[in-house]
Structure 1
Amino acid sequence: MGFFKNLSNKPTPKEVAKDRLRLILIHDRGDIAPEVIEKIREEILEVISKYIDIQVEDVEISVNKSDDDEGENTSALIANIPIKGIRGR
């Protein structure tokens, strides 16, 4: 039975929960609504997928806050996108 489970493109409950938790953590760190982060993620993946094959299930996008030298709060959008291959080669 496990063989047929792997053929399904539907995410497992574990993957859905992991994605939701990741979005909550991103929101808490960056004061950006989870819906906005998800939209950013979708659009980034759509554009990148035109040029390279990526491992969508392993993509991590986060917002990190830090203080700079002048004491100002700065934020950075960080994307970790595993690449399987380049298109058009």
Structure 2
Amino acid sequence: MDLFKLFSGKPSSKEVAKDRLKLILIHDRSNISPELLDMMKSDILEVISKYVIIDDGDIDVRLTRTKEVEGTSPALIASIPIKKMKER
């Protein structure tokens, strides 16, 4: 048990580095360039912005892997905080 993490509430630098390395490996193995991921993020935000007002400061869009029956496959994970719904 990491006592520092228990009291600080923040992940240790070791955990942050480990998570970053995982993301880099996932990007490398999925053959999706950072530029393509940024374009996908922009398109997703453009579509969602038609319906809701989003918090631009805390958006997280990343590529990860999911376990399938026959191995793993890439998955796009998006965390987009919504401030409020737009009036229709």
TM-score by length of 2: 0.63
TM-score by length of 1: 0.62
Taking a change above 3 Å as real, the CA distance of residues 68 and 56 of structure 1, as seen in their structure-2 partners, is same
Distance 1:29 1:82 in 2: 28
- Alignment size in residue pairs: 66
CA contact (8 A) 1:52 1:84 kept: yes
> What residue ranges of structure 1 are gaps of 5+ in the alignment?
1-20
- Percent identity over paired residues: 41
Alignment RMSD = 2.2
> What residue ranges of structure 2 are gaps of 5+ in the alignment?
1-19
> Does 1:35 pair with 2:35?
yes
Runs of 4+ in 1 over 4 A off after TM superposition: none
> Does 1:74 pair with 2:73?
yes
